[in-house]
Amino acid sequence: MITQTKNTTQTAGPIQYFLLTENGIKGETASASFKLTVYQEGLIRVQVSREQSFAPNPYSVILNPQVTNFEFEETDEFLYLITKTVSVKIRRSNFSLTFLDKTGTVLSEDDPNFGISWQGTEVSSYKKLQQWEKFIGLGEKTGGLNRWGKAYTNWNTDHFAYGKNSDPLYISIPFYIGLHHERCYGMFFDNTHKTVFNFGASNNKYSYFSAEDGDMDYYFFHEKNVSDIITSYTSLTGKMEMPPMWALGFQQCRYSYYPDRDVLRLAETFRDKDIPADVIYLDIHYMENYKVFTFDGKNFPNPAALIKTLKDKGFRIVVILDPGIKVEAGYAPYLEGKAKDLYLKYPDGSDYEGHVWPGWCTFPDFTKPETRKWWAEKMAFYTDLGVDGFWTDMNEPACWGQHTPNLVEFDYEGQKATHRKGRNVYGMQMARSTQQGAKDLRDSLRPFVLTRSGFAGIQRTAAVWTGDNVANNDHMLLGIRLVNSLGLSGVSFAGYDIGGFEGNTPPPLYARWISIAAFAPLFRAHSMINSTGSEPWSFGEEVEEISRNYIKLRYKLLPLFYSAFYKSHLTGLPVSKSLAIDFPFDDNIYEKSYENQFLCCDSLLIIPVASFKEVTKGYLPEGSWYYFYTDKLYTGNQEVYVDCPLSYLPVFVKGGAILTLQDSIQHTGHLESGSLYIHVYKGSGITRFSHYEDAGDGMDFQDGAYFKREIVLNSDSNEVTVATSEGTLDSRYANLTLYFHGFEQNMANVDGKNISLEKQDVTYLKKISDFDPLPSDKHPFHTCKQVSFIHIKHSKEPVIIQLV
């Protein structure tokens, strides 16, 4: 056993005494206090501290311990805490923990010598590396899907034009999932100081996580699969609120669109060119000298009239909000914050000032409840003008020099903390304040907040984008991994700047990027000042047509996306899913060639490729897969080669899938009562899909104002059941059209009547006549099989369609 050595390492030491509590066990060791709390059968909290009391993070966890039966056993060597799902073996001689599943298989095991230990104020938990162990998640982190052999730092950082292996970035989510021996577990380290996660980097014995100060306070998860671990984690830290429908549409941004006539011209060009879009962003040049809660009177003399005109055209406005409040006599927000004592402080009580866009600025202390209330109220400046969305940027917090003094003090809910403890939650609390203002001031409409910075639990308050990326192929593919990793970490509503923020985007890169992004949760194009614009028509006619195709495809898929967002709102599972969620023990998915692949809305397998490739190799996991454009059927567990000219991103549909589509529209406010197109793909066994509709905004859906119905496909009996609807709303779709992919039958029995199926060529993308590089004999529309379909009047009553 290692004991304390001056200036080296101190372990917890042997257990001195313990006692059982209502939810677990607590006690003291030679060097520390400890407490284990059973939150749920598969969720155990571990707290260890050398202080007299524990100091929990007040921001991330929203779940209280549930009433859970557990058993306790003890021997001379160990204490045991046992639930139906997991057991914890606690070593007496030198406090260390081993987590086992119900079969007794080790899930995670502390090193018995080091376990939980300290080097000065730094606290660490050392875990034995299990054989063939893989690590996934950890939020917004570069690198590969499997984190093994790497180390990462959680310290929210304004990292302009970050590299493909840069670390840290803007958001810290200290949660990962471990995989080995067909078993999975999760680990959430709830400490807001700078933390390090080492997954076997520079050693062959340990993974460990450490914080530069504070308690060892972590949550251990074990469930039967990765999906259930993510659901459990988001039950602990919160799930995404249901976003407004318009936030799922195409969003156009630039640093910056001004004056107001340029914004109007942008909106008119989208409509004139028949390119769907819902959102236009205003970056920092809309402000007067970059000061938040202002509009530049010269470039935007009548913002209310501008916003009304844009809304009449079907556009929502999202404005950027930076936290820096300019130190300026006569500037009302600064004076108000000063009078109310709402800014970050030095220890002597003076306001901390940093230099950023407006000049020398103070920074609201969003860890102080009074500050959050004031900020939320100040947002009336925007909501009174009709602004619908808010983009919180520079909220790490960022300022020139990128080195905030650590002695800067945060209120931290009255606990008082230095910058070392408060920084990582600053952006999260700014987003929280902004969301609250958007809720309170907009008559219960759903808020849309987009943030650059955050911490574990940020999914409750904001969508996330991956910051200042670069216009190159590496960044395009990196953005996919970042979004998928965020999805593994509870953040479902995420995306990246299409085309790249920094640098000039080559036309082929934009074409490929927008085709991939059409399947991302957040669908936003953005570019930097003095660079190529990121509008779809900025790259020539061919790219414009490709962009129009994929943007229109996104709008056709909105029923599928909206249902997926509703599922995510309920379960915490991501809309853009790493293959590690459904196929965690298939080693092929971790290969460099395949780690960028993902599932969109559970059923669409996207194979991203670089812009210069015309043929690519992809990997199809277990199951059956249909090529999206031709219906060609492939068996899984194999590599495939696919043509991928710019106009055709490789997309496959999972056998057994149920896809819902609608007619093309120009914006989400343009929904018409037409047909809901239900595409079913023959697989094996029974698959279920929950189609969901509501008003698209507001909170009435929480009181039953929605339309939901389950669609069940039994591929073995060739039967589709559209179940009785739930909710008080009627569907916006008057008719159903069901398309049958992979079925050979020509007749359908509906309510006891046999009906002949019709045939139709189903195409998802418009042919790019003058630019399409594929020869006619390889063109998807020449090789697409005719698909059988049937029309049905849409009602709330159940219907069974049996193919015969």
Q: Is the pLDDT of residue 5 over 60?
A: no
pLDDT of residue 2: 43
Q: What percent of the chain has pLDDT over 70?
A: 97
Looking at residue 233, what DSSP letter applies?
H
Distances from the Cα of 437 to the Cα of 304, 320, 326, 456, 716, angstroms: 19, 14, 21, 21, 52
Please tell me the distance from the alpha carbon of residue 473 to that of residue 231, in angstroms, as a whole number. 33
Q: pLDDT (tens digit, 9 = 90+) per residue, 583-621?
A: 999 999 999 999 999 999 999 999 999 999 999 999 999
Q: What is the mean pLDDT of residues 143-160?
A: 98
Say how far apart CA 480 and CA 269 lie, in whole Å: 29
| Extents of the domains making up the chain | 10-237, 658-803
Residue 3: predicted pLDDT: 46
Which sign does the torsion angle of CA 376, 382, 385, 389 carry?
negative
3-state helix, strand, coil in the chain (%, to 5): 20, 30, 45
Task: Express each pLDDT in 32-69 by its tens digit.
Answer: 999 999 999 999 999 999 998 999 999 999 999 998 89
If you write DSSP's letter for every residue of 46-81 in order, what string do you get?
EEEESSSS----SSS--PPPP----EEEE-SSEEEE
Provide the pLDDT for residue 7.
62
Look at strands 747-750 and 753-756 and give their pairing: antiparallel
Per-residue pLDDT, 670: 86
Going by pLDDT thresholds of 50, 70 and 90, the confidence category of residue 6 is low
Task: Compute how many other C-beta atoms are within 10 angstroms of the C-beta atom of residue 798.
Answer: 12
Average pLDDT score over residue span 689-711: 97
Active site residues: 393, 396, 468
How many other CB atoms sit within 10 Å of the CB of residue 541?
A: 11
Arithmetic mean of pLDDT, 530-552: 96
The amino acid that residue 93 corresponds to is S
CB 186 within 8 Å of CB 175: yes
What is the average pLDDT across 311-322? 98
In this predicted structure, the answer to whether residue 125 has a pLDDT above a threshold of 80 is: yes
A 10 A CB-CB count for 749 gives: 15
Alpha-carbon gap, residue 625 to 472, rounded angstroms = 30
Q: Where are the beta strands (DSSP E) in 441-572?
A: 448-451, 463-465, 494-495, 497-498, 524-525
Residues 648 and 628: their CA atoms lie apart, in Å, by 10
Q: Looking at the domain covering 10-237, what would its CATH class be? A: mainly beta
> Taking the model in full, what pTM does it have?
0.97
Residue 443 confidence (pLDDT): 87
pLDDT value, residue 1: 43
Give the pLDDT mean for 477-492.
98
Domains 10-237 and 658-803 fall in the same CATH topology? yes
Residues 445-465 pLDDT 10s = 999 999 999 999 999 999 999
Please compute the mean of the pLDDT values over residues 502-513 and round it to a whole number.
97
Considering the domain 658-803, what is its CATH architecture? Sandwich (2.60)
The pLDDT of residue 780 is 64
Q: 453-457, 487-491, 783-787: lowest mean pLDDT where?
A: 783-787
| CA distances (Å), origin 727, targets 297, 303, 702, 734, 798 | 47, 39, 10, 17, 14
How confident is the model over 765-784, as a mean pLDDT?
62
**Is the distance from CB of 427 to CB of 59 less than 8 angstroms?**
no
pLDDT at residue 778 is higher than 70: no
- Judged against a pLDDT cut of 70, whether residue 527 lies above it is answered with yes
pLDDT value, residue 580: 98
